[in-house]
Chain A
Amino acid sequence: MRTVRLAQLAHARSGDKGDRADIGLFAWDAAGYAVIERCVTRERVGAHFAHLAAPGAALGVDRYEMPNLLALKFVLDGALAGGAARSLRSDNLGKTIGAQLLRMSINIDDTEVAVLREESA
């Protein structure tokens, strides 16, 4: 068992629509897809991004599985401070939220993933 970051076995792009952030997470290969499909649950993603919710509000989280693309899709409702045009954040469009997802740590078996990218020192 070892702990890795999602960035080592997947890539991601995020965007916005209104107050919803929207992230595509893509495994580099089929073995990686099996791992993200198992580990990157709706619950974990909800906890990972809880800080994006408005004060006193809960974040809505939807997960969609796209095995034909080796991808998961996450939609975070209420994550963009009311939407890009009223948000005070530097990243009002949520473009870097994909990178935040790639910071997530997951536990995998040593033999489980064929393609693991190493982070530079």
Chain B
Amino acid sequence: MKSIRIGAGLGFYGDSWEPVRASIERGDVQYIASDHLAELTLAILQKDRARDPALGYTRDLVPMLTTLWPLAQPRGVKFILDAGGLNPTGARDALVAAFKAKGWRARIANVTGDDVLADIDALRAEGIALSHLDSGAAIDSVRDRLVFANVYLGAAPIVRALERGADIVVTGRVADAALFLAPLAHEFGWSLEPGDAAGLNRLAQGLVVGHLLDCSGQGSGGNFGSLRAWAEIPDLTHIGYPIAEVHEDGSAVITKAPGTGGRVSFDTVRQQLLYEVHDPGRYFSPDVVLDMGSLRLDDLGADRVRVSAATGHARPATLKLMAGYDDGWMGQSVVGFCWPDAMDKARATIVSVRTQLAERKMAVDELQTEFLGHDSFLGPHADHGDEARLNEVWLRMAIRTRDKRVADAFPRLFPWMALSGAPYMGGLHGTSASSQLLGVWPSLVPRTAVERRVEVTLMDTAS
């Protein structure tokens, strides 16, 4: 039976591509699929695009591929990456320019059509409400504040790019797992149109494989949330990102390159399997709806876990749109206090800052106070012990405000206290810039309204 091997690329914008080297050199992979876009990433890219319309893609794309292509090209390894972000064409152009400068030949495709920010009114004129998926609220309340609006595309346009001979496919927003499902559908000739149960179950297996690989090292022992057990996972410094060996019937084995750190086991794989899926009985994607209730994981030992028996149901008639809207600004500051009376001094500082906010009539919508290193993560479940005896405590205060000037001014309420406030304050490391806050607006769009906007183009760097 035919099988192919796909290696995980990045799991987010800023992730390391060093482990991908081992997957290419020793992992016998034919594809690397790389997910650069977390739910938040488009918000970061939107700021880039506002500064320079040629940007808006993840800028790790060019250095990553100029590092990895010389290893991949002689082995025939292809890349699929959603690094296009808000500007897949700009990403493609940057990559083509970099390859031409090095005299490298590659066929580079890009997929566009997921970005519907300029089409919001046209979609609404077609009778598509774009109401909030959870609350049902009308989009009018945020219409003027939208900064990005992208639809999660499925695997189909990536399959088209591969059919046309692309070596590298750069997309914008697509469902993370579609980056992995596409090469499977292409290689095995799986139809993405809803078919019989066997066909849907194959697509479901492909979705599981993609889901297990699209967070890089989280699929092979990284971030293994546990008491002590994390320390038994070998050599995370040299972790091997997960690799899926997938057969034509959809059955798959998750593994990693020989000689790498990390671990692929029943425990590490199932932690990733349930990660961010919400209802495991109905995990929606543009290409298939996955039911994990029937799924089997068999630990074969030696960093191999077999995945089988996923159940698929026909894909939804709608695609998910994720928009972001301007929701004010955050200003923040962090200061540290040493024993004696560390916690008392931190609390006195909170009172002072609140007083300053009131006296200066600074309009604040929300105020967050945290004691870093003490209970900022565990909250009421932290061990609060004897707070009077703390060695030190770090106070972080943050505000949300509509007025950027207030956010900018907030950190300046702190420095004077170094000489004129409570004693033994240390670690005031300058004042940090305010940052824009974004609300997210999930919604649904009929598949047909989006798919006719989708385009695939291919460029050969030799021409």
On chain A, the residues within 8 Å of B227 by CB distance are 5, 7-8, 11, 102, 117, 119
Task: Judge whether A99 and B368 touch: CB under 8 Å.
Answer: no
Shortest beta-carbon distance from A25 to chain B in Å: 9
B372-393 interface bits toward A, Cβ cutoff 8 Å, 1 = contact, 0 = none: 1000111111000000000000
Contacting residues, chain B, for A83 (C-beta < 8 A): 439-440
Size class of the contact patch on chain A: 35 or more
Contact A17 B366 (CB under 8 A): no
> In the complex, what's the smallest C-beta–C-beta distance from A27 to chain B, in angstroms?
10
Q: Which of A68, A75, A86 has the most CB of B within 10 A?
A: A86
Which of B29-37, B86-94, B253-261, B268-276 forms part of the interface with chain A?
Answer: B268-276
* Nearest CB of A to B56, in Å: 17
Whether A88 and B271, one on each chain, are in contact in the complex, defined by CB atoms closer than 8 angstroms, is: no
Are B277 and A22 closer than 8 Å at their CB atoms?
yes
The verdict on B360 contacting chain A, using a C-beta distance below 8 Å, is: no
B442 to chain A, nearest CB (A): 6
Check A66 against B274 for contact (C-beta < 8 Å): yes
Is there contact, CB below 8 Å, between B275 and A13?
yes
Please, which residues of chain B bring their CB within 8 A of the CB of A70? 270
Which residues of chain A have C-beta atoms less than 8 A from B274's C-beta?
13, 24, 26, 66, 69, 71, 73
Main secondary structure of the interface of A (DSSP, over half): mixed
Tell me whether A82 is interfacial, beta carbon within 8 Å.
yes
Q: Is the CB of B271 within 8 A of A13?
A: yes
The answer to whether B280 touches A84 (Cβ under 8 A) is no
Is B69 on the interface with A (CB-CB < 8 A)? no
Judge whether B366 and A84 touch: CB under 8 Å: no
**One of A36-44, A89-97, A106-114 at the interface:** A89-97
A22-B278, A24-B275 are known contacts. Are A11 and B377 too (CB-CB below 8 A)?
Answer: no
Distance between Cα atoms of A85 and B228 in the complex (Å): 31
Partner of A84, one of B40, B267, B328, B376: B40
Bound complex: CA A70 to CA B273 (Å):
12
A51-66: CB near B (< 8 Å → 1, else 0) gives 1100000000010101
The answer to whether B272 touches A100, judged by C-beta atoms less than 8 angstroms apart, is no
User: What residue of chain A has the Cβ atom nearest to residue B296's Cβ?
Assistant: A68
A64 contact set on B, CB distance < 8 A:
279-281
Using a CB–CB cutoff of 8 Å, the interface residues on chain B facing chain A are: 39-40, 43, 134, 218, 223-229, 267, 270-281, 292-297, 324, 327-328, 330, 332, 366, 368, 370, 372, 376-381, 396, 398-400, 437-440, 442
